[in-house]
Amino acid sequence: MNFVEVILPLALPKTFTYLVSEAEYDYIKNGMRVAVPFGKTKIYTGLVLSKHHNPPTLYEAKEIHQILDEKPIVNEIQLQHWQWISSYYMCTLGDVFRGALPSAFLLESETIITYKIDNEVDKNDLSDDEYLIFEALQKQSSLKVQDIILILNKKNIFPVIQKLLNKNVLSLQEEMQDEYKPKLIRYIRLHENYASPENWESLLNIMKANKQKDLLLNYFQIIAQDKKPISVKHLIEKANSSTAIVKALIDKNIFEDYLIQEDRVNFEKNKVKNNLSLSNAQQNAFFEIKAHFNSKEVCLLHGVTSSGKTEIYIKTIEDYLKLGKQVLYLLPEIALTTQLVSRLTLHFGNQVAVFHSKYSNNERVEVWNQVLENSEKAKIVIGARSAVFLPFNNLGLIIVDEEHEQTFKQLDPAPRYHARDVAIVLANLQKAKVLLGSATPSIETFYNTQSGKFGLVTISERFGKAPLPEVQLVDLKDSYFRKQMTGHFSQTLLDSINEALNLNEQIILFQNRRGFSPVLECLTCGHVPQCTSCDVSLTYHKFKNQLRCHYCGYAIAKPTHCHACSSTAISTKGFGTEQIELELASIFPTRNIKRMDQDTTRGKYSFEKLIDSFKNREIDILVGTQMLAKGLDFDNVTLVGILNADTMLYHPDFRAFERSFQMMTQVSGRAGRADKTGKVIIQTYNVNHNIIQQVTNNDYLGMFNEQLYDRKIYHYPPYFRLIKITLKHKDFEKLKEGSFWLYQVLQQNLQMSVLGPEEPAINRIRNEYIRTIMIKIPHNLGLLTTKKTIQKILNSFEAISQYRSIKATTNVDFY
């Protein structure tokens, strides 16, 4: 008898054995998808892990429904990689399988199918089964897989759905439609015959029509003032003219118009491909990286902000492409892919593919297949953390940019992996190299370079010898005392904003909290509206005039009076990006002010819209949360303001100081990236705080040594490994009792410190109470044996009937 071992996309601790015929056994290869029955009625898409002839002992093997692929969509190296993730991060293979594959590959009996309205369908092109589904979707808006099984009266329906998806007739529920075409702005410049100022006088002399002459004079005036590209719209408004006059001048070959779609405003007429020349510092770093790769698998490029790390990456990528290798370029934030894609496509053209969660199912499947086939279109893959799961078969280099970012860590659902660490293991399996890059490396990574595990290359100067921005501290205590505050802005910050605006320069303001204000309080009785399902106050969002919970999404309209004492004296406490945006609008009514946070960037292309506008200098001031701190590159930003540095410093987390240093240094690095000197103003109540002084002096080593000393004393990484077990239940007493039982058993069986069961700062979310237990594992104890012990104890915990309803999740390296 022939059997296959199948991974199901469910959180089950083991794989399942299914029966196949002789012909199927010969045809099936590891890594192919199969549709299999599971339970009484459900059908799932499983993945073949191995083939064998041993029947299962505990149950009778069912037959598979059908084979879904002609060739494997997952390769052997990936399967090994998944098994490592499953064992290291203490999750099931099913979790990894579900997290790794685009959901379009995982058709199952719960998937909801809808009809694509905007699509012309040729009915003659459809088979009988396809037509039946098409007809059913004309009569009702959506169908479940179960409904289609009843309509067609057969169980084997996945190929029919797949064909309809390929013909673009159906869409799956997860897809979001958001059509965005990059905004094409029409700019105008003098024809090349008149480009030099010497020809301007003769040009004015030959002009007869007054209106045309007037328009031309206005053009010269704007050019003298702004020294930046002039849009047709701006010129017409300034000259009080019309498009007809502009068209007449274009027809006479005096002006020519052009469209700007690329990110950066382009002063050269044509960009030359591959005109990349490295500075001496970059060239030295590039050779040092090559030298490290001869002896080490991983190298850290530690360069100050705007030192030109991307150019070094491009040069390194070129080397690997010449060898015919694939390259994976990981970024922490989807926002960054926009800028990077435009920079890399200038060099590598159509060899670049992009993979992240804002892409639709079909787009992700296309990239998956291109990588699998080692296609020319996907030699370089740029992606967020999920791109580490792509089916590379000839990977040569992985670049992890901004490697210190916490967004590389997946929080929920399982697998709770860290993309940087997973990428290093993948590179090891693929015999590839890893280049980590950051201006503020994480303490663990820098510690690995000090202990000789990773190579280290340092660049301590900015590209083009541009100076680092000047950092100025503003003492908020003193400013409030002297009544020198306008809203949340000190006089120093306002003066600097005015100065930058007068020079037509752009400004970034940073406040790491979205919404208008985090607390609405009654001044009479002190009542603060709370979320009904979570133990947290509601955040006030002024634009929607509602109070919203950022944990579960619960929202109510803003109350006109206090719910406890009916008083109308209600005031807001604290401030978020929304409030800053409104204050700025009242101080600078004529300026264009936008904000960039989770609320304004929900759509697929919303990042692009904002970044395009900022690049094209349509926005004067951009207010944002930590999205702004990542490696964005705007050459006209000369001022960065951090409105309150203290909110980050006093976060209850052992990494708060390290994160604050990274965040402030990264935000500061957005200023003065071209030939203009940048300035950073940090508002704080604690000017003499060590971290703030280290940011001011750009003293990474000082911060590193100080934090390392503390970590050693208090048993934190990199000296200890951490595992956090989170327990959740709706019944407070049951959770308390269960968490104590688990804590005691862990403490008795593990010869190391077990802390807890502790209530976190927010101890109830979505009506579930939360307790956490933390285990600190010293490096001299075996990690694998400790994890096995913990897993056994968790299995026993689940076996106790009264604790079975308590949800336990394990998070390895949760920081």
Torsion of CA 54, 58, 60, 63, to 10 degrees: -60
pLDDT band of residue 265 (cuts 50, 70, 90) is very low
Q: Which residue has the tokens 């494997």?
A: 72
pLDDT at 261 over 60: no
**Rounded Cα gap, residues 608 and 338, in angstroms:** 6
Q: Contact at 8 Å (CB) between 610 and 594? A: yes
Q: Contact at 8 Å (CB) between 188 and 194? A: no
CA of 395: how far to CAs of 140, 328, 432, 621, in Å? 46, 8, 6, 41
Mean pLDDT for all residues in the chain: 87
- Give ∠ CA 346-352-358 in degrees, rounded to 5: 110
**Rounded Cα gap, residues 136 and 99, in angstroms:** 32
Give the DSSP H or E segment for 210.
Answer: helix 210-226
637-642 and 506-510 beta bridge pairing: parallel
User: pLDDT higher for 209 or 520?
Assistant: 520
| pLDDT value for 178 | 35
Helices 232-239 and 243-251: crossing angle, nearest 10°?
A: 120
**pTM here?**
0.80
**Rounded Cα gap, residues 789 and 257, in angstroms:** 70
User: pLDDT higher for 423 or 231?
Assistant: 423
User: How would you list the strands of the sheet with 506-510, edge to edge?
Assistant: 470-475, 679-684, 637-642, 506-510, 621-624, 593-596
| pLDDT value for 268 | 31
| pLDDT value for 110 | 64
pLDDT at 264 over 60: no
As a whole number, mean pLDDT of residues 10-28 equals 93
| pLDDT value for 237 | 86
User: pLDDT higher for 671 or 183?
Assistant: 671
Reduced 3-state DSSP string for 381-398: EEECHHHHHCCCCCEEEE
Q: Which residue has the tokens 């995982």?
A: 106
Long-range interactions of 479-485: CB distance < 8 A, separation 24+:
479/683
pLDDT band of residue 274 (cuts 50, 70, 90) is low
CA of 754: how far to CAs of 127, 217, 339, in Å? 62, 77, 45
Q: What is the DSSP letter of 124?
A: G
298-303 and 326-330 beta bridge pairing: unpaired
| pLDDT value for 631 | 56
**Rounded Cα gap, residues 628 and 643, in angstroms:** 14
- Token output for 554: 């619960």
Helices 158-166 and 145-152: crossing angle, nearest 10°?
A: 110
Burial class (CB in 10 A: 0-12, 13-18, 19+), 45: buried
| pLDDT value for 271 | 34
| pLDDT value for 76 | 94
Q: Contact at 8 Å (CB) between 583 and 798? A: no
326-330 and 380-383 beta bridge pairing: parallel
Lowest mean pLDDT, pick from 229-243, 265-279, 690-704, 709-723: 265-279
- Smallest Cα–Cα separation from 112: which of 87, 148, 86? 148
| pLDDT value for 68 | 87
Long-range interactions of 17-21: CB distance < 8 A, separation 24+:
17/54, 17/55, 17/56, 17/61, 18/46, 18/61, 18/62, 18/63, 18/64, 19/61, 19/62, 19/63, 19/64, 20/63, 20/64
| pLDDT value for 168 | 80
Tens of pLDDT, residues 697-752 = 999 999 999 999 999 999 999 999 999 999 999 999 999 999 999 999 999 999 89
| pLDDT value for 234 | 85
Q: What is the DSSP letter of 570?
A: E
pLDDT band of residue 184 (cuts 50, 70, 90) is low
pLDDT at 788 over 60: yes
As a whole number, mean pLDDT of residues 70-89 equals 95
Q: Give the bridge partners for 570, in sequence order.
A: 522
| pLDDT value for 260 | 64
Q: Which residue has the tokens 């694998």?
A: 784
Task: Mention every residue, 6+ apart, whose C-beta is less than 8 A from residue 520.
Answer: 528, 529, 537, 538, 540, 547, 558, 559, 570, 571, 572, 573
Reduced to 3 states (helix: H, G, I; strand: E, B; else coil), residue 654 is: coil
| pLDDT value for 300 | 97
pLDDT band of residue 181 (cuts 50, 70, 90) is very low
CA of 270: how far to CAs of 230, 258, 273, 275, 572, in Å? 17, 12, 9, 12, 52
CA 399 to chain centre: 16
Tens of pLDDT, residues 297-338 = 999 999 988 888 989 999 999 999 999 999 999 998 776 676
Tens of pLDDT, residues 114-158 = 887 767 778 888 888 888 888 888 888 788 877 888 888 777 788
Long-range interactions of 248-253: CB distance < 8 A, separation 24+:
248/209, 248/212, 249/212, 249/215, 249/216, 250/188, 253/191, 253/193
pLDDT at 272 over 60: no
Q: Which residue has the tokens 């490290």?
A: 292
Q: Computed from CA positions of residues 399, 405, 409, 412, in that sequence, does the dihedral angle turn out positive or negative?
A: negative
pLDDT at 263 over 50: no
- Smallest Cα–Cα separation from 31: which of 126, 101, 104, 110? 101
| pLDDT value for 177 | 35
- Token output for 139: 């009569």
Reduced to 3 states (helix: H, G, I; strand: E, B; else coil), residue 603 is: coil
**Rounded Cα gap, residues 73 and 372, in angstroms:** 7
Q: Contact at 8 Å (CB) between 639 and 679? A: yes
| pLDDT value for 671 | 84
| pLDDT value for 363 | 79
- Token output for 675: 């030939």
- Token output for 775: 């285990």
CA 761 to chain centre: 25
As a whole number, mean pLDDT of residues 373-402 equals 93
Q: Computed from CA positions of residues 443, 449, 450, 456, in that sequence, does the dihedral angle turn out positive or negative?
A: negative
As a whole number, mean pLDDT of residues 237-251 equals 87
Lowest mean pLDDT, pick from 424-428, 525-529, 611-615: 611-615
pLDDT band of residue 40 (cuts 50, 70, 90) is confident
Q: Which residue has the tokens 């410190």?
A: 753
Long-range interactions of 286-293: CB distance < 8 A, separation 24+:
286/312, 286/315, 286/316, 288/455, 288/457, 289/316, 289/435, 289/455, 289/457, 290/319, 292/455, 292/456, 292/457, 293/433, 293/455
pLDDT at 176 over 60: no
- Token output for 122: 């040729």
Q: Give the bridge partners for 682, in sequence order.
A: 473, 642
CA of 32: how far to CAs of 38, 52, 156, 220, 338, in Å? 18, 15, 17, 66, 33
| pLDDT value for 275 | 61
Lowest mean pLDDT, pick from 149-153, 291-295, 778-782: 149-153
Q: Give the bridge partners for 270, in sequence order.
A: none
